[in-house]
């Protein structure tokens, strides 16, 4: 089967390319700092060292606090999001109320609002509320869910046979009970998909926490590696950051280090 052979060849090449950066990271994480500094990045670790991992737990720049913060952020957002999402999707799929279709149209329209275009006003609004550099500043904008997930779940709820809900209602169940006892158990596959999607998205989120927090107090996990890389580089040389040259070229030279050190630390009056 030449065709099967070729399929495997292509799939294997793609898998190797996909995995290589992960394997390289794992291999490097097991090296001693000396070996990392002296030998080729491709050399296998010898001796094997758990030094880097020990540093992450008990070292000076431990990862434990950011890990705890990130877990709290993810859990609060995911719970809030799933509750709001299930209620809204049920209402749009199963309830009749004036303005429903107009509201749903609004939801569909907001699907087109890109985050990048509204990060400045969100920052301004949450600053006005005094939530800059707070836990709720990170969490609040996301915990009511997104129109995208409402849209997906509504489609799913609509496909549930009306008879099942009628039966529940005949038995005297209100909408909340019908949702909890009939609709949600039937929707486990899509709910677990949405759970994974929202949890992964929030775990990986970087830009919003970067904007709304400053300093170490509420630093999330994703902000750690880049902060370390910047700190490490800043000690050695600046040439790696012509980054600012474009947008900041008309700023006084003195302002440039802001980007490395005092990000977001200007406070309004």
Q: Does 232 bind another protein (CB under 8 A)?
A: no
How far apart are the C-alpha atoms of 90 and 98, rounded to whole Å? 15
How far apart are the C-alpha atoms of 200 and 240, rounded to whole Å? 31
Site string for another protein, 97-116 (x = CB under 8 A): xx-x--x--xx--x-xxxxx
Terminal CA-CA length for the chain: 73
For the bound state, the minimum distance from the C-beta of residue 185 to another protein, rounded and expressed in Å, comes to 18
Helices 188-204 and 64-94 cross at an angle (nearest 10°) of: 140
Q: Does 206 bind another protein (CB under 8 A)?
A: yes
Which of 91, 165, 168, 183 lies at the binding interface for another protein (CB under 8 A)? 91
**Interior angle at CA 151, CA 146 and CA 154, nearest 5:** 125
Which of 78, 90, 133, 187 lies at the binding interface for another protein (CB under 8 A)? 90
Task: Report phi then psi at 117, rounded to 5.
Answer: -75, -20
Cα 207 to its chain centre, rounded Å, is 9
Site string for another protein, 49-88 (x = CB under 8 A): ----------------------------------xxx-xx
Q: Is 140 helix (H, G, I), strand (E, B) or coil?
A: coil
Footprint of another protein on 117-136 (CB under 8 A): 117-125, 127
Which of 58, 95, 102, 170 lies at the binding interface for another protein (CB under 8 A)? 95
Which of 73, 133, 141, 165 lies at the binding interface for another protein (CB under 8 A)? 141
Q: Which residues fall within 8 angstroms of residue 206, CB to CB, at 6 or more apart? A: 220, 222, 223, 226
For the bound state, the minimum distance from the C-beta of residue 151 to another protein, rounded and expressed in Å, comes to 11
Pick the stretch among 46-54, 56-64, 158-166, 255-263 that binds another protein (CB under 8 A). Answer: 255-263
């Amino acid at each position: 089967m030449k065709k099967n052979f070729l399929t495997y060849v292509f799939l294997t090449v793609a898998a190797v390319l996909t995995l290589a950066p992960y394997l390289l990271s794992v291999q490097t994480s097991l090296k001693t700092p000396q070996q990392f500094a002296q030998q080729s990045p491709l050399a296998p670790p010898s001796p094997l060292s758990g030094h880097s991992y020990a540093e992450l737990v008990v070292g000076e720049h431990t990862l434990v606090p950011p890990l705890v913060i990130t877990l709290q952020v993810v859990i609060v957002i995911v719970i809030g999001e799933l509750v709001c999402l299930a209620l809204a999707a049920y209402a749009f799929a199963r309830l009749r109320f004036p303005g429903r279709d107009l509201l749903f149209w609004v939801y569909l329209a907001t699907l087109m609002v890109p985050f990048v275009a509204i990060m400045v006003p969100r920052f301004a609004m949450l600053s006005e509320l005094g939530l800059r550099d707070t836990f709720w500043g990170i969490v609040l904008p996301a915990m009511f869910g997104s129109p995208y997930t409402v849209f997906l779940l509504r489609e799913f709820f609509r496909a549930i046979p009306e008879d099942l809900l009628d039966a529940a209602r005949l038995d005297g169940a209100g909408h909340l009970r019908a949702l909890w006892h009939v609709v949600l158990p039937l929707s486990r596959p899509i709910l677990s998909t949405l759970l994974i999607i929202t949890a992964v998205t929030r775990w990986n989120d970087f830009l919003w926490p970067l904007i709304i927090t400053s300093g170490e107090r509420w630093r999330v996990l994703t902000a750690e590696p880049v902060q370390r890389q910047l700190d490490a580089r800043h000690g050695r040389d600046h040439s790696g950051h012509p980054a600012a040259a474009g947008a900041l070229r008309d700023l006084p030279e003195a302002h440039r280090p802001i980007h490395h050190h005092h990000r977001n630390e200007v406070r309004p009056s």
